[in-house]
Chain A
Amino acid sequence: MANISIRDVYKNYGTENVLKTFSLEIQDGEFVVLVGPSGCGKSTILKIIAGLEPASGGQIFLGERDVTDFAPGDRDVAMVFQNYALYPHLTVRQNIGFGLKMRGMKARDIERRVVDAAKILAVDSYLNRRPKDLSGGQRQRVALGRAIVREPQAFLMDEPLSNLDAKLRVHMRAEIGALHKRIGVTTVYVTHDQIEAMTMADRVAILREGEIQQIADPDTMFQDPANLFVAGFIGSPGMNFIRASPTDLGGSPAVELFGLKVPVGGRQIGKTGNLIAGIRPEHFSVGEGEFTLNLRPTLVESLGSEKYVYFDGGDNLVERAADSEGEVAKGLIARIGQQGRIREGESVPLSFESENLYLFDADTESVIR
């Protein structure tokens, strides 16, 4: 096991810069998740660490070793791929033992370690089958087995759960978490699913268009997002964004929002300029509160334990960068418990607290603290 140190790494394809210069220190035994929408460069980072793609500049250290120019096989990392990448012509036993064989290990030792790894992942009864005879979940376990059998310095996982169905994904998510706790190998995990990122990671790094937006533990990421993108990406459903303007409330700074003047506490918002206010859907509640809006729901989605209620937010709603197009057209969203009957078209008092209001600079998109 080792720490991974990424120093000033960037990547260009021809003249196009796909990964802006970044540095990241991953501690020994840490589980770091790289998350972001597709095409943000997260898989590229993983491939650079694995040595499958050369970085255009910068250095990668694994422990004390500078592995920047090492071939993938010499880096002592193991990788799990989205499509499993099991060798279809080999049995499960041969698949798991392939890396050990390549390293010239004796057949007897390979067999012992393959059987041990297979037992950990509960695939020991399929050792003589070929990948095509296994289910998706079993294939994923074999791919994990191939990674752990080598006892590498680090695991690199490229969206390993995205080919599984929803239920199995939740199950395997817990298994990977447990496996990490058990063997404690430094892990870099790539996903586009923020729930996977939040539930599995010691630290999360959010990427957008080749640039790291924020690196923090999941709770900090949720409670103290660095900018508009992170605030919109983390949380399900994502944060509501509303255009706001600075104003004055009895001598203290405030923002004007839905025609209400909401105090901003000690936050430096200036006197002019464009602001974007953010409220998480779960921070709305039905009934009177510090600030109350009377709105008519346009759509009510019941999930059984809670409801997603959409309101017409007018022209002031701002689209979340992480969303697919047209998502904002559904309107302002509130996530509320089963508080009585809410019907589409009937006016509902919807309230929020000023302390739950996030503020962002509309030009730089940075959070205003």
Chain B
Amino acid sequence: MKRTLAQSIRLYLGVGVVCAILIFPIYWLFITALSTTLELKALPPTFWPDPPQWQTFAKVAEERPILLWLANSTIAAVGSVVLSMFVSVLAGYSLSRFHVRGGNSMGLFILTAKMLPATLLVIPLFSIFRSVGLIGSIWSLIIAHSTLIIPFTTWMLKGYFDTIPKELEQAAMVDGCSPLGAMVRVILPVSAPGLAATSLYAFVLSWADYAYARTFLTNSQNNWTANLGITTMRGEYVTDWNEIAAVSVFVAIPIVVIYLFLERYLVGGLTAGAEK
């Protein structure tokens, strides 16, 4: 059906408003980083600083170990993604393919773990990590983040595997693969969009964490993740919001870049199963 001009205008207007709502916080973060402290306090607010304070980025990069924080965040996030994906690929595949007694209840039990608030797990995890000497180590974050990520990614992947016909691995097994071989050689490559979407979800969850990092990485500033680093920039009497915004831009960049690269897979992964 062809749209009339009026319909097109309404459509683009609607899309424009939604985009504006979604983009405004990012724009405002960027503007905050480029403004002086005085401009930030001005009423009415300025929507483009004059002149833009580009040097703020250089200043925070010089004064704070941002690259180190970003590296720590990356190690924690990549570690959590690898660990969680390893567990949840096997768990999700098993839940999807093998019908064992109590399998459904087990699946639901895993999902209830996701419903527990992160703060509820902080104290027992802290106690466990202290007894095994992991407090202050990035491993504490990798393990803690995985406890949050695995339940959800297991279900996400189970849903994805359910959409892949069983005949594919049956064909692979008749062709000479073991059940594990069929999964690795056929099912995983076919599931690439689902794996990409799930990995990204896991990455963002770990990247965005604050509570666990605050609790487990208490010692040296060199161990902090980026999110933890940002919060320490709030002073007791004075807070340089432009500097916090500048560091926040640095922290947001990796996520934006990953989204741009994986966008093609993500759309496929999130809509999988919508059509047969």
Contacts and interface: CB of A to CB of B under 8 A. Distances in A.
A binds B: yes
Given A83-B167, A85-B168, A52 B186 contact: no
Contacts of A83: 165, 167
Interface residues of A, number: 24
Contacts of B181: 102
Given A87-B186, A87-B190, A103 B171 contact: no
A98 interface: yes
Given A87-B190, A88-B190, A79 B171 contact: yes
B120 interface: no
Interface stretch (A69-77, A118-126, A187-195, A312-320): A69-77
Contacts of B167: 81-83, 85
Contacts of A85: 165, 167-168, 170-171
Contacts of A78: 174
B173 interface: yes
B190 A52 contact: no
A137 interface: no
B98 to A, nearest CB: 13
A89 B189 CA distance: 7
B174 A52 contact: yes
Contacts of A47: 170
Interface in A331-366: none
Given A88-B190, A89-B189, A71 B171 contact: no
B177 interface: yes
A47 B167 CA distance: 11
A50 interface: yes
B175 interface: yes
Nearest to A98: B175
Interface in A179-211: none
Contacts of A81: 167, 170-171
Interface of A: 47, 50-52, 71-73, 77-79, 81-83, 85-89, 98-99, 102-103, 146, 150
- Closest 5 pairs (CB-CB, A-B): A102-B176, A73-B176, A99-B175, A85-B167, A85-B171
Given A85-B167, A87-B190, A102-B177, 19 more contacts: A50-B170, A51-B173, A52-B170, A72-B173, A73-B173, A73-B175, A73-B177, A73-B178, A78-B174, A81-B171, A83-B165, A83-B167, A85-B165, A85-B168, A85-B170, A87-B171, A87-B186, A88-B190, A99-B174
22 contacts: A51-B174, A52-B173, A52-B174, A71-B178, A72-B173, A73-B174, A73-B175, A73-B177, A77-B174, A78-B174, A79-B170, A85-B165, A85-B168, A85-B170, A85-B171, A87-B172, A87-B190, A88-B190, A89-B190, A89-B192, A146-B171, A146-B175
